[in-house]
């Protein structure tokens, strides 16, 4: 044990060292460093000694690493023909959603529609990314949810860890209860994806062999020709195929990482966009009726299977854009400047980390005169032409923008059109009653409570 005097002397030494050494050094650095000087000129969070304002934000190191190769590999997976072939999945999963909503509507007069949309979106991404029917919507109603629980636990653990700096060191996270459960969830997902990779690779190689040797079984030939390409097949083809293009030899782990990227980036974001569109249509009955008329004129009694017809739903398209303006699924993105930039009369030095708040940018009065109003006319071509190109960026912009935006719009249009075709939506909470959670994805704390009235 130390005596009180020893403790006091130690404290005195620390204070003296601080006053004599650390503090002058910091002052000298602040005065002479151009970086610190420019930063101190900026309006923003308070700066504390040693840490600056980093206490406000913690960098996610996972954002850096393998970007160029990944982007190059993923681009062919979003070719128009691949997206067209996914329309059947979007439509079938929306039909399942309607069946499930019908049961729910009969059970309770009003309910939160967001989890149902989320499960539908997850079903869609499982089938389009891995080519596997997970039937999550049905399995939830049967309480068979191991995969669903694993993916939602892994997804929410990202933010949980980001907000707790003591869990950032890998070792501390791994031994924490959250880290251990996270590891189990990831194992469930990985063992599933690995199984799919093995099956799809085998099928791919078998079909190639049969193409060379001739098909002996006509049924098999038909099955292979008819099979839809999933993102995973595009990646396998890039790795094993014999086309002209440059080959990328991805390991199975590499393929799995890319599939995981789709799975994580591709379902929560789209589900949020769909949920907010439903919310806003449910608050604006006049606009909703116009949308319903448009859907009826284009599709009549047909199910939503034609991508050509889907592109004729122009008002719906504008409504989804307006929802993404008011409630962008990804409310904030981060960037690090690789060169000095002049912004609003201030100079931001290279190396600065920027947080771009789309939620607030999209409510700029000069760009959108009545910023709080749900006004799909903001997205008429003539209105868009008048605005600077970066006034509306829910999918970000530049080389690192969202690779999945066409996929997302096609899915959102199909799901929203299916719901509006079948129901008149009434959203219960007013915008003032909503509690917005600006997490990685923009959510409403109490979900999206609706009443659904069947249309005949």
Nearer to ligand HEM, 71 or 223 (CB): 71
Write down the least CB distance from residue 230 to ligand HEM, Å: 11
* Minimum CB distance to ligand HEM, residue 329 (Å): 4
Please choose, out of 161-169, 301-309, 388-396, 423-431, the segment that lies near ligand HEM by the rule CB under 6 A: 388-396
In the bound state with ligand HEM, the residue whose beta carbon lies nearer, of 105 and 409, is 409
Q: Does 329 bind ligand HEM (CB under 6 A)?
A: yes
Binding residues with ligand HEM: total (CB under 6 A): 22
Which residue lies nearer to ligand HEM by CB, 239 or 329? 329
Q: Which of 394, 421, 440, 450 binds ligand HEM (CB under 6 A)?
A: 394
* 261, 306, 347, 446: which one binds ligand HEM (CB under 6 A): 261
CA distances (Å), origin 16, targets 5, 13, 44, 46, 439? 16, 5, 31, 25, 43
Judged by CB under 6 A, the residue of 403, 440, 448, 452 near ligand HEM is 403
Question: Is residue 395 part of the contact set for ligand HEM (CB under 6 A)?
Answer: yes
Interface residues for ligand HEM in 271-300 (CB under 6 A)? 273
Q: Interface with ligand HEM includes 331 (CB under 6 A)?
A: no
Residue 413 or 421 with smaller CB distance to ligand HEM: 413
- Please give the structure tokens belonging to residue 334: 């981060």
Asked if residue 134 binds ligand HEM (CB under 6 A), the reply is no
Q: Judged by CB under 6 A, which stretch of 217-225, 232-240, 258-266, 295-303 contacts ligand HEM?
A: 258-266
Is residue 101 a contact point for ligand HEM (CB under 6 A)?
A: no
In angstroms, give the least distance from the CB of 385 to ligand HEM: 23
Selected range binding ligand HEM among 100-108, 137-145, 294-302, 404-412, rule: CB under 6 A: 404-412
CB of 103 to ligand HEM, least distance (A): 27
Residue given tokens 């604006």 in the structure block = 284
Q: Are 291 and 420 in contact (CB under 8 A)?
A: yes
Answer yes or no whether residue 114 interacts with ligand HEM by CB under 6 A: no
Q: Whose CB is nearest to ligand HEM?
A: 404
Q: Write out the residues near ligand HEM by the rule CB under 6 A.
A: 67, 71, 74, 261-262, 265-266, 269-270, 273, 329-330, 333, 394-396, 400, 402-404, 407-408
């Amino acid at each position: 044990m130390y005596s009180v005097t020893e403790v006091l002397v130690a404290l005195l030494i620390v204070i003296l060292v601080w006053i004599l050494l650390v503090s002058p050094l910091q002052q000298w650095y602040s005065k002479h460093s151009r970086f610190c000087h420019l930063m101190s000129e900026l309006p923003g969070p308070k700066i504390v000694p040693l840490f600056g304002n980093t206490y406000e934000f913690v960098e996610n190191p996972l954002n850096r690493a393998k970007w160029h190769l990944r982007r190059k590999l993923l681009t062919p997976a979003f070719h128009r023909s691949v997206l067209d072939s996914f329309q059947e999945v979007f439509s079938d999963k929306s039909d399942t959603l309607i069946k499930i909503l019908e049961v729910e509507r009969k059970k309770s007069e009003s309910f939160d529609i967001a989890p149902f949309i989320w499960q539908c979106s997850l079903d869609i991404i499982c089938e389009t990314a891995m080519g596997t029917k997970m039937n999550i919507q049905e399995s939830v109603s049967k309480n068979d949810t191991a995969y669903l629980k694993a993916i939602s636990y892994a997804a929410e653990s990202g933010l949980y860890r980001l907000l707790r700096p003591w869990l950032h060191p890998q070792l501390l996270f791994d031994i924490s209860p959250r880290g251990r459960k996270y590891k189990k969830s990831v194992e469930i997902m990985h063992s599933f994806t690995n199984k799919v990779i093995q099956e799809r690779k085998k099928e791919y190689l078998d079909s190639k062999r049969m193409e060379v040797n001739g098909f002996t079984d006509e049924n098999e030939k038909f099955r292979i020709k008819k099979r839809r390409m999933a993102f995973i097949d595009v990646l396998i083809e890039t790795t094993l195929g014999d086309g002209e293009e440059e080959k990328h030899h991805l390991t199975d782990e590499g393929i799995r990482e890319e599939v995981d990227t789709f799975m994580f980036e591709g379902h929560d974001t789209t589900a949020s966009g769909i949920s907010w569109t439903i919310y806003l249509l449910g608050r604006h009955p006049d606009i909703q009726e116009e949308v319903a008329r448009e859907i009826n004129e284009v599709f009549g009694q047909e199910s939503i299977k034609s991508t050509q017809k889907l592109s004729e739903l122009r008002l719906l398209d504008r409504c989804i854009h307006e929802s993404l303006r008011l409630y962008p699924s990804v409310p904030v993105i981060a960037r690090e400047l690789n060169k000095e930039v002049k912004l609003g009369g201030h100079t931001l030095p290279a190396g600065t980390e920027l947080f771009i708040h789309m939620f607030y940018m999209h409510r700029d009065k000069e760009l959108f005169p009545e910023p709080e109003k749900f006004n799909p006319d903001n997205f008429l071509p003539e209105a868009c032409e008048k605005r600077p190109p970066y006034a509306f960026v829910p999918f970000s912009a530049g080389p690192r923008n969202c690779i999945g935006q066409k996929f997302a719009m096609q899915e959102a249009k199909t799901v929203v059109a299916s719901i509006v075709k079948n129901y008149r939506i009434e959203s219960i909470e007013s915008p003032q009653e909503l509690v917005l959670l600006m997490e990685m994805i923009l959510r409403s704390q109490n979900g999206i409570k609706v009443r659904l009235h069947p249309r005949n």
